[in-house]
Structure 1
Amino acid sequence: MTAPHDRAAGPFRQPRAVWAVAFACVISFMGIGLVDPILPALAENLDATPSQVSLLFSSYLIVTAVAMIFVGWISSRIGAKRTLVIGLAGIVVFAALAGATGSINGIVGFRAGWGLGNAMFIATSLAVIVASASGGFAGAIILYETALGLGIAVGPLLGGFLGDLSWRGPFFGVAVLMTGALIATVLLVPATPKPKHRTSPIAPLRALRHRSLLTMGIVALMYNWGFFTMLGYAPYPMELDATALGLVFTGWGLLVALFSVFGAPRLQARFGTAPTLYANLAALAVIMTVIAMGVDTPTVVIVAVIVSGACIGINNTLTTQAVMLVAPVERPVASSAYGFLRFIGGGIAPYAAGKLADAAGLSLPFYVGAASFLLAIPVLATGHRMLREAETRPADPEPLAPALTAVGAPAACGTPRVIVAVGSHERAAGIVDAAARLARDTDSPLEIVHVQRTAVVEEQAVDTESDEQARAAVTAHLGRATAAGVTATGQILTSVGDHAAAGRALARHAAFAGARTVAIGRSPRGPLAQFADGSFTSALTHAAQCTVVLVDPDEDPRPLTAAGLARLRDSTV
């Protein structure tokens, strides 16, 4: 459940390398909404039409899309840190050049270079933060989520403030701030080893031959079409100055960040991935229709845009999780293929919206955006069965792909077993010893299970540990359990999402395996980490069909009921 370095340390007790990359993440995520407050000012000062200004988004996102195909190939040859540094340097250079130019065509061209740098940065930043963390990957992910929220929320505010001074201000502001992040990254982040396996530059395109990945990629393309139509054109009917526009998109950004981190996982747990996405896409279509119908009423547009932030946050997280669940290829390849399609949709939409607005008025692009959200629903429905089976894979008698990796001798069939969940922390040995005593007393075999997570933060995904590290978390205890006179086997269970999702995955596996008991120890994570990233214990206890017991090396095992779980949570806090 945890990476080898995961401990009970606080999420913000991290080395300077992690803080350096986190600061760069804040600046990078600012770029999402930084230019929105100055779009009307750019059109006015540079004598450009809204459709010409929209090319700032198109050039940036289309180059990002194409670059996503090759970033994995580059990173596998020069390493994650060098890729990260080159991306940061590219953002510095092209943001400064965009501020220095005097024409809309010049800004559009330099934004394309900015997109190339951003692709190299976003593809490696989360992995570098997790690899550099000493306070555990859970803490590193919380820090990344915090950086994401700050960047999305503060970007429009800073863009509005600097844009009131000059339309060049936001570009120069990013260049200066990112220069500091670049220097800190070069000096503080240690060199990262090159991956053992090099990625083919065409692997992401080949991956799209898989129907499951292509389906989710098309859903993302259609979603991003509507999303970037709104982002690129909603500022015009609001009729606000740069500062006021910045405040509007700050409210929007806060909802994006909050619902991506807290709303999406809880809705997914309650309703499932596909049903939540259906409802969310329909809600976005309604919001876009409201904007289209009220395009002549600034207040309607302002309120609708801010409210859409909640739906955007939910959709970003759950679409990425869906891709990771159904993708039959390696995570980096799946991320590149998915990124290519979603950024292509986001890149084409603003340009097409500009042409529609020029031909038939400002309402039409929003109606087309609403239709794009609606069309994504039947496309997603064609992959509903694949997604449902992937979510329930451990309990499915005919899984689409293996979610379990056996370690050691295979488990005996037909014998109720005791399952013990282990992480890679200093308490694990004592937890396994206590579970072994429980198995011996009940004359049951012991199955040592480690949950290997793929964490998803908004539109980024990263494996929290390598296959070798996950296997070591199990093999470290097999010999000792056997020496205690217990028949012991090992399993590595894969899971996508937060710690609560991992708990539900273990509950499904226990039900499918016909386990007698699931034994767990006290969580090494603090209350803040459990709140932000979900509680493994709570999710397992509520979803399990067998007895869940809390084991402690110095105490007798205790069944965890709802009341017992509440007492445990209180004692942890």
Structure 2
Amino acid sequence: MSAPHQKVASPFKQPKAVWAVAFACVISFMGIGLVDPILPALASDLHATPSQVSLLFTSYLIVTAVAMLIVGWVSSRIGAKHTLIAGLAVIVVFAALAGMSGSINGIVGMRAGWGLGNALFIATSLAVIVASASGGFGGAIILYETALGLGIAVGPLLGGELGAISWRGPFFGVSALMAIALIATVAFVPQLPRPAKRTSPLAPLAALRHRGLLTMGIMALLYNWGFFTMLGYAPYPMELNAHELGLVFTGWGLLVAAFSVFFAPRLQARYGTAPVLYANLVGLGIVMAVIAAGVDTPSVVITAVIVSGIFIGINNTLTTQAVMLVSPVERPVASSAYGFVRFIGGGLAPYAAGKIADATDLGVPFYVGAASFLLAIPVLASGHKLLTAAEQRPMEPEHLTPALIPVGNQAARGEASVIVAVGNHPGADAVVDAAARLAHDTSSALEIVHVQQTAVVEEQAVDTETDEQARAAVGAHLARLTAQGVSATGQVLRSVGDHAAAGRALAAHADRVHARAVAIGRSPRGPLAQFADGSFTTALAHGTHRTVVLVDPQHTPRELTATTIAELRTAAH
């Protein structure tokens, strides 16, 4: 779905603006892991109980949850760059104040302010990176995923090292690093255009009236209840120092990052979103029950916490994707509504777990966490049909945001067609023109399908282009072909997820309209990326019964079969 003979661009060759925000993302993703290794030290040095220390999570997450309701309203008025700067500045100030605090109550209060900055930052960081990136959104997403992995993995390690010196170290460390990111953001990130439509602060709450979004939000609330119970209380029965705790949560973070980015999309492609989430929630319930039963054996708790990273990585990605699939409202509004509900669960869980532990023993909160994971299963099941329909639909009139949006005049039903799939990139014209020649040679109608993706990374989602930009791209192709005397029709295909998700969506459409062939171009990311497992091309070729053709303006079109793809993949290596 890309231009031929185009030099492969490295995702790491990006403007300074992208690197500035990516650096801030690394520090932001360090957030929770950075603090986790110092929880026992805080309790000991400040003469606080574990339940009092747990309020660090509660104040941070509750404020983040409430702030999620207004970040869209703020960003639509002052712009993404100013929202990002405000978030970074707030984190710098309150992280430093937390390090200077002399009481647990003081730290809890500063963490609340930190939560406000976190909400402003996470609501805009991915969108700013995508908007500022060069060479298409693909490289920006790879860079964001890299920042995510580094932050999650390095956060506990750095927190453990700084925490071994003093519990104040991680707070001052975050403040100093975020200050660097703030300066770089101010200096290098350009002023980005404000949204044409201003968001109402009540829009996220109104969006929760939609059954699919509310169902996924409640499921995420229950998941976060168990997740933050583990983060808030698992360090205590491990009986480790800050440095050792840092190493444990680094192992956990590496698994979270790996399974979020690499394994979750492949499991989803093979089994579907809902079945993977069902199995995943059962796995998390078992892990939490093991922690509860082995709470007096540190090695059991350590092993179970590290293993939980597998399930948490998968769950974070697929839950966000499920929300975006079923949501009938704009992405930013859906993200704010979902964030509000799930962060409420994450905020209340540590406080409730502390009260339960004080009244009973340390094992009981983990049993409650296990029950919350399992309770999320019937909640998800209540929205199973909505989620399955959203995954499989090409276009359903009753859905408020159809996956397939016609542009211009449409072909007569039953007319044999060649579908050409393109993205918004400089080589798209050449691919469309090559496909037009193929359609002419086979006496077929030509249908241009512009793939408009919603990228989902961990717990963030962003549209890679607006509806207006996608329609304009199709309109430009149609106008150019009309001037050449070539008749064609156009569609915009919305897809949520990775490149493979877009490939599966196009495959379903091609089968539905009984297309004669589906034409795609060479990827600017290179043959290794184009024919890898999980790529757009491989998912399309394996998902459709139609002929898939690789078109190249300077070469004869080549049919892609399973054997051909295997040969090309081998050659790419």
TM-score by length of 2: 0.97
What letter matches 2:373 in structure 1? F
In structure 2, distance between residues paired with 1:529 and 1:99 = 45
Residues 60-85 of structure 1, C-alpha deviation per residue, up to 9 Å, x if partnerless?
Answer: 00000000000000000000000000
Contact 2:506 2:540 (8 Å CA) reproduced: yes
- Does residue 228 of structure 2 align to residue 242 of structure 1? no
Counterpart amino acid of residue 315 in structure 2: N
**Pairing 1:344–2:344 present:** yes
Q: Distance in 2 between matches of 1:226 and 1:464?
A: 32
1:388 is matched with which residue? Answer: 388
The structure-2 alpha-carbon separation of the partners of 1:397 and 1:329, relative to structure 1 and needing over 3 Å to count, comes to closer
Given the superposition, is the C-alpha separation of residues 262 and 532 from structure 1 closer, same or farther in structure 2, using an over 3 Å criterion?
farther
- 1:476-495 matches, within 5 Å, as 476-495=476-495
Q: Is the 8 A contact 1:33 1:155 kept in 2?
A: yes
State the secondary structure of the residue aligned to 1:270: helix
Offset at residue 149 of structure 1 (A)? 0.7
Q: Is residue 65 from structure 1 mapped to residue 65 from structure 2 by the alignment?
A: yes
Residues 166, 26 of structure 1: alpha-carbon distance in 2 compared, 3 angstrom cutoff:
same
Q: Distance in 2 between matches of 1:528 and 1:12?
A: 17
Letter in 1 for 2:538: S
Q: Give the SS at the match of 1:34.
A: helix
Other-structure match for 1:223: 223
- Tell me, in whole angstroms, the C-alpha distance in 2 between the residues paired with 1:228 and 1:478: 51
Classify 1:288/1:406 alpha carbon distance in 2 versus 1 (closer, same or farther; 3 Å): same
AA aligned opposite 1:390:
A
Q: Secondary structure at the match of 2:353?
A: helix
Task: Tell me the residue number matched to 1:535.
Answer: 535
Aligned to 1:274: 274
Matches within 5 A, 1:93-492: 93-394=93-394, 401-492=401-492
The question of whether the paired residues in 2 share the 8 Å contact of 1:7 and 1:135 is answered with: no
In structure 1, what is the Cα distance between the partners aligned to 2:475 and 2:346? Answer: 46
Distance 1:531-1:515 versus aligned 2 partners, 3 A rule:
closer
Aligned-pair identity (%): 78
> Per-residue deviation at 1:476?
2.2
TM-aligned CA deviation for residue 468 of structure 1: 2.2
What is the distance in 1 between the residues matched to 2:7 and 2:381?
41
The amino acid across from 2:57 in the alignment is F
Provide the C-alpha distance between the structure 1 equivalents of 2:396 and 2:207, rounded to a whole number of angstroms. 25
How much does 1:352 deviate? 0.2
Matched to 1:307, the amino acid is V
Which residue identity lines up with residue 283 of structure 2 in the other structure?
A
**Are 1:100 and 1:168, in contact at CA under 8 Å, matched by a contact in 2?**
yes
In the TM superposition, residue 484 of structure 1 has moved relative to its aligned partner by 5.0
Would you say the 8 A contact 1:406–1:491 is kept in 2? yes
Counterparts of 1:531 and 1:30 in 2: how far apart (Å)?
33
Q: Closer, same or farther in 2 for the Cα pair 1:491/1:189, shift >3 Å? A: same
Tell me which amino acid in the other structure corresponds to 2:157: L
- Separation in 2, partners of 1:427, 1:198: 34
Q: CA deviation at 1:557?
A: 1.7
Q: Distance in 2 between matches of 1:105 and 1:530?
A: 53
Partner of 1:559: 559
Q: Which residue of 1 aligns with 2:546?
A: 546
Per mean C-alpha deviation after superposition, the further-off stretch among 428-437 and 346-355 is 428-437
Write the letter of the residue equivalent to 1:153: A
Distance 2:528 2:318 in 1: 22
Residue 316 to residue 180, structure 1, CA distance change in 2 (3 Å): same
Q: For structure 2, which runs of at least 5 residues remain unmatched after alignment?
A: none
Please report how far the alpha carbon of residue 186 of structure 1 lies from its aligned counterpart in structure 2 after TM superposition.
0.5
SS at match of 1:413: coil
Assess if the C-alpha contact under 8 Å between 1:396 and 1:512 holds in 2.
no
Aligned pairs, number: 571
Q: State the distance in 1 between where 2:7 and 2:77 align.
A: 32
- 1:524 alignment partner, SS class: coil
Instruction: Compute the displacement of 1:471 (Å).
Output: 1.6
- Give the RMSD, CA atoms, in angstroms: 1.7
Match of 2:569 in 1: 569
1:192 to 1:2, Cα distance in 2 relative to 1, 3 A: farther
Q: Deviations over 1:378-423 (max 9, x none)?
A: 0000000000000001176976752111111012101121101112
SS at match of 2:419: strand
Provide the C-alpha distance between the structure 2 equivalents of 1:282 and 1:414, rounded to a whole number of angstroms.
46
Match of 1:82 in 2: 82
Change over 3 Å in CA distance of 1:529–1:340 after alignment to 2: farther
Name the CA distance, whole Å, in 2 between partners of 1:400 and 1:204.
Answer: 16
Over residues 431-451 of structure 1, what are the superposed CA-to-partner deviations in whole Å (9 max), with x where a residue is unaligned?
212211221122111000011
Distance 1:231 1:86 in 2: 28
1:405 aligned counterpart, secondary structure: strand
Tell whether the 8 Å contact from 2:91 to 2:178 is kept in structure 1 after alignment. yes
Give 3-state SS (helix, strand or coil) of 1:394's partner. coil
**TM-superposed deviation, 1:315:** 0.2
Does 1:499 pair with 2:499?
yes
Q: Which SS does the other structure have where 1:465 is aligned?
A: coil
- What residue identity is the alignment partner of 1:414? G
Pair 1:16–1:34, CA change in 2 (3 A): same
Over 3 Å counting, the alpha-carbon distance change for 1:321 and 1:345 in structure 2 is same
Does structure 2 conserve the Cα–Cα contact (< 8 Å) formed by 1:20 and 1:185?
yes
1:35 match: secondary structure: helix
Query: Once the two structures are superposed, what CA deviation does each residue of 1:260-281 show, in whole Å capped at 9, x if it has no partner?
Result: 0001100000000000000000
SS in 1 for 2:394: helix
Task: Quote how far apart the aligned CAs of 1:481 are.
Answer: 3.1
Report the 3-state secondary structure (helix = DSSP H, G, I; strand = E; otherwise coil) of the residue aligned with 1:443: coil
Distance in 1 between the 2:345 and 2:259 partners?
Answer: 23
2:285 and 2:370 in contact (8 A); partners too: yes
| Cα deviation, residue 567, structure 1 | 3.0
Instruction: String of CA shifts for 1:323-364, please: whole Å, max 9, x gaps.
Output: 000001000000000000000000000000000000110010
Q: 1:17 and 2:4 equivalent?
A: no
Q: Distance in 2 between matches of 1:350 and 1:242?
A: 20
The secondary structure found in structure 2 opposite 1:414 is coil
CA distance in 1, matches of 2:443, 2:124: 48
